[in-house]
Structure 1
Amino acid sequence: MKNKFLIVLFAAVATLTSCKNEKEVSKEENKDVKKYFNVEIEASAAKSDNFAMYFSEDGTTNFKDINAVWAGIKGGPEFQKVTFNLSEEKMPTHIRLDFGLNNDQDSVVIKNVKVDYFGKDFQFKGSEFFKYFIEDKQFNTKIDAAKGTVTILKKDGVYKTPYYYPAQGSIDGIIKITSTKK
């Protein structure tokens, strides 16, 4: 009888410990999951500047100033993460990326872009940028597939704030990650 009691007690303790460990793992996995829409760009800029992400929530590319998020970048050759976080109640259907207001800017290099919502994301290298955003010939760009980057340069000696509207790849990616919450 005593042996049966010990076996039952051991089984109960093992079950409780196992469940506790599973719950701890779940909490750790969800700890880094952001509960809002965000875009993270790994980039470098020759000079300090400000980038913007405009967004719409109505399925159009009608971008308004009230739907813009700004983030700064320090000048220099090192890559930095520039993050745009939206509040929980904002759910974009389209995004536009603007790379700098500094008219003295020399160049901006985009290495990676990650779009995330509740831990679901899509990301791409800078060299794939124009699969997700529309190339605009008024801005001078150079793609380096080996480094996985796109560089935005002055055109005719002038740096004009480059902005890029979403291509179908970007729209499809946003629909895919926002269609269901985790």
Structure 2
Amino acid sequence: MKARVKFLLVLVSISILSCKNEKSVDDLKVETPQVVESKVKVTIDMVVKTDDTFQLFYTEDGTLNFNDKFSVRTPVKGSENSQKVVFELPEDVKFTFLRIDMGENNKQNEIKINNFLVNYFDKKWEAKGNLFFQFFGPNDQMTLNYDLSTLTPVVKEGVVYDPILYPMEPVGVELQKLLK
């Protein structure tokens, strides 16, 4: 019996001493991960009235051979108000051309472009309003109203819906200025 009591006392002593310096879960510091904003991004200030997903393609080899590997997608929440649609790119990108796919939703309404901005670390390139269309031209699935700076999607029977803004030569020139 004495051996059992001694054994119990040793166990209680060990458990009291081993728990002595432990902190409560409530006392532990909570680490919140920091969201790091990319220093390379393309922002389009526009009115998009219907929910959609836009995609920005880029090349680094001076060609217009775009593929999904070099692209960024971003969801867009439909709104009657102007909003900034932001594409964050890898910071090691050395882009030579950009292409913008203007959505997947074939129920999309008229889209108004207010401003286009490329940030490349401490440099920027901006095209306001309809000046944007000196750099990008729509494919046949969008109708451009240059004066109002709007694009109206065109759904064609039997054709996959894929409205695209193709880069024109000045895009490459402006992007090269950013890289210098």
Compute the TM-score of the two structures, normalised by the length of structure 2.
0.71
Kindly provide the CA deviation profile for residues 64-98 of structure 1, in whole angstroms up to 9, marking residues without a partner as x.
11111011211121011111111122221111011
- The answer to whether the 8 Å contact 1:107/1:152 transfers is yes
Q: 2:40 aligns with which of 37, 41, 45?
A: 37
Q: How does 1:130-141 map to 2 (within 5 A)?
A: 130-141=133-144
Structure with more of its chain in helix, by fraction: 1
How far residue 169 of structure 1 moved from its aligned partner, in angstroms, is 1.7
1:48 maps to: 51
How far residue 38 of structure 1 moved from its aligned partner, in angstroms, is 1.2
2:120 maps to: 117
How far residue 156 of structure 1 moved from its aligned partner, in angstroms, is 6.5
1:154 aligns with 2:157: no
1:170 aligns with 2:162: no
How far residue 121 of structure 1 moved from its aligned partner, in angstroms, is 0.8
SS in 2 for 1:77: coil
- The answer to whether the 8 Å contact 2:115/2:127 transfers is yes
SS in 1 for 2:124: strand
Bigger radius of gyration among the two: 2
Matched residue count? 142
SS in 1 for 2:56: strand
Q: Residues of 2 paired with 1:153 and 1:87: CA distance?
A: 31
Q: 2:110 aligns with which of 98, 107, 117?
A: 107
Kindly provide the CA deviation profile for residues 87-121 of structure 1, in whole angstroms up to 9, marking residues without a partner as x.
12222111101111111112211110001111211
Q: 2:131 aligns with which of 101, 113, 128?
A: 128
Q: Which amino acid aligns with 2:135?
A: Y
Long gaps (5+) in structure 2: 1-36
Greater shift in the superposed pair: 150-159 or 60-69: 150-159
Long gaps (5+) in structure 1: 1-33
1:14 maps to: none
Q: How does 1:80-91 map to 2 (within 5 A)?
A: 80-91=83-94
How large is the Cα RMSD of the aligned pairs?
2.1
Q: Residues of 1 paired with 2:47 and 2:166: CA distance?
A: 20
- The answer to whether the 8 Å contact 1:73/1:80 transfers is no
Q: Residues of 2 paired with 1:163 and 1:174: CA distance?
A: 19
How far residue 36 of structure 1 moved from its aligned partner, in angstroms, is 3.5
Q: Which amino acid aligns with 1:174?
A: L
Q: 2:96 aligns with which of 66, 89, 93?
A: 93
How far residue 160 of structure 1 moved from its aligned partner, in angstroms, is 3.8
